[in-house]
Amino acid sequence: MKKVINIGEACTGLQCHNGLAQKIALRLVEPGLTHTDFTFTQLDEESNRFANMLVSLGVKPQEKVFIFLPKQAEVFFAFLGALKAQAIVCILFSNFGKEAVFERMIDAGASVLVTKQSLFNKLKDNLADVPSLAKVILTDLPEAQNESVLSYSQLAQASSSQFSIPETFEETPSVLHYTSGSTGKPKGVLHVHSSLPYQIQTMDEVFQLDPDDVYWCTADQAWVTGVTYGIIGPWAKGLTQIHYTGKFDAVDWFNLLEQEKVTIWYTAPTALRMLIQDETRILDKYALPALKRVYSVGEPLNPEIIHWVRRVVKREIYDTWFQTETGAIMISNRPGLEVHPGSMGKPLQGIEANVLAEDYSVLGPDLAGSLCLKKGWPSMYRTYLNMEEQYKSKFHGEYYNTGDQAKKDADGYFWFIGRNDDVINTSGHLVGPFEVESVLLEMEEIVDVAIIGAPDEMLFEKIVAFVKLKEGLTWSKGLEVQARIRVTRQVSPIAVPSEFVVVDRIPKNRSGKIMRRVLKAQYTGQDVGDISTMED
Ligand code: AMP
């Protein structure tokens, strides 16, 4: 098998070797816009320390290291250090509820969890549910509590800042991401170290960077964008990255763009729509002379946003399309390619995308079908962990089916239409209806439930819950609050339905499957279509 550079090394040691040892790699900006800087040398040494910690704890290559933290320096150190030690590393969204965290750690067989005390408190009573979990490392614990609950700083102090990386091969597993499906549990998408050259290619082709660019990707590190374009890509290119630890606020974000002289800004349509709403607080107040270009990902970029960015920010904005499974951008707009507002652009070099009919024949221009990619691109995921059959079912002949509906026009531009499964895209985050339904069904007042995504002006899709109540009960504010808390605590605040609709029955087909399209049509006032397969 061919040897390749380890991703952790490419992002740190290699950059030092290339003369960037003293360059700022990470500028962590706090609310109020104070910041802490880390050079490539510090990133290298701190990630080496983490790799040494893992080795000293007996963690072997391919064991799973989970990081459950808000944005803070240790997320980056631990992520890169775990890769150096050839562990498989998975970052979890710090707002995830308990069930969501356990489900993923159990599925993967996590060996190590890096977190902080307040988050650990939510989990600690049920640790026995993850029998594989040998060590928990807390970033804000001064000293080890016992043999299993350890202090990050104590371990780091005892660890060398030098680490000898084991030989890394093309197929050495690297990053694990969980993505929601329309049925069943979230799927663990596994990537390998040889994804790197293509990820770098996309940095060059799409972002077209200069060495002194200041780059800000607003995605959380729990999602593929936050990893490929908020850790790996920019550091493998030797860039200074901004990471902001605060929440979204229009004025704070524009202050940050201005103060930090961000040149390349990678964000998402929901954030931009929120900025549009706040236009009066920012309009004409910021010139942002350093800013060169804006990029977007995660949801369709409506032409209105493009026009707004052009008018208010006075820059071009480029849409990019990819998904957890693809590991890097597949289709995008970019400088040098004329932007057709509403289109997500054209495939990148080496990527063959097509729109296929149900029988997998290639459709002609402007016909809607499944967006498929010729398999074998270098950053392609290698499996769904413990779900080989589901993985195989995504491939048909030479094609990978993305699960999106799209069309391609006569000029080769791709236009996103929607998903062809029931996964909901709310503010750029995928939510599986099944996960939310399972939690709501645990409420004794609810006898049946169905979750759908409905169009929303701000979030692209909002989550709507249809609930059938126990006989004699009526829906109340109290029940709604309970339902919301349940979903927040067990799944995530992102997955909380914005609306609850009480119904007498949930439409199902004869094999008992929820007919979400019927509910969706009813909700949006459209024709419900063919319902001949519906149960009587
Ligand atoms: P995830 O795997 O969570 O990153 O979500 C990937 C999905 O988000 C894609 O399959 C699309 O449905 C959606 N998506 C990502 N980027 C875009 C985009 N530029 N336009 C429309 N939908 C997008």
Q: Express each pLDDT in 414-425 by its tens digit.
A: 999 988 888 999
Check residue 218 and give its pLDDT: 97
Distances (CA, A) of 367 to 179, 361, 396, 407: 28, 12, 20, 6
Check residue 126 and give its pLDDT: 95
Check residue 535 and give its pLDDT: 63
Alpha carbons 171 and 191: distance in angstroms, whole number: 9
Alpha carbons 481 and 209: distance in angstroms, whole number: 47
Check residue 421 and give its pLDDT: 86
Angle subtended by helix axes 98-108 and 477-490, to nearest 10: 30
Check residue 435 and give its pLDDT: 87
**Ligand 1 first shell, C-beta below 6 A:** 179, 223-224, 297-300, 319-321, 323-324, 344, 402-404, 416, 419, 425, 430
Distance 402 CA to ligand 1 centre (A): 10
Phi-psi region of 109 (alpha: psi -120 to 50; beta: other; left: phi over 0): left
Which residue has the least CA distance to atom 3 on ligand 1?
A: 430
Alpha carbons 311 and 305: distance in angstroms, whole number: 10
What global pTM score does this model have?
0.93
Alpha carbons 331 and 491: distance in angstroms, whole number: 31
Which residue has the least CA distance to atom 16 on ligand 1?
A: 298
Which residue has the least CA distance to atom 23 on ligand 1?
A: 299
Ligand 1 mutation target, pool 180, 190, 321, most atoms within 8 A of CB:
321
Check residue 327 and give its pLDDT: 98
State which ligand 1 atom lies nearest to the alpha carbon of 324.
2
Ligand 1 mutation target, pool 272, 299, 407, most atoms within 8 A of CB:
299
Distance 418 CA to ligand 1 centre (A): 9
Which residue has the least CA distance to atom 7 on ligand 1?
A: 323
Check residue 504 and give its pLDDT: 92
Check residue 343 and give its pLDDT: 96
Tell me the one-letter amino acid at 378: P
Dihedrals φ, ψ of 386, to 5°?
Answer: 60, 15
How many H helices and E strands in the chain? Answer: 18, 27
Distance 427 CA to ligand 1 centre (A): 10
Alpha carbons 34 and 508: distance in angstroms, whole number: 54
Stretches in the chain below the pLDDT threshold 70:
530-536
Check residue 460 and give its pLDDT: 94
Check residue 532 and give its pLDDT: 63
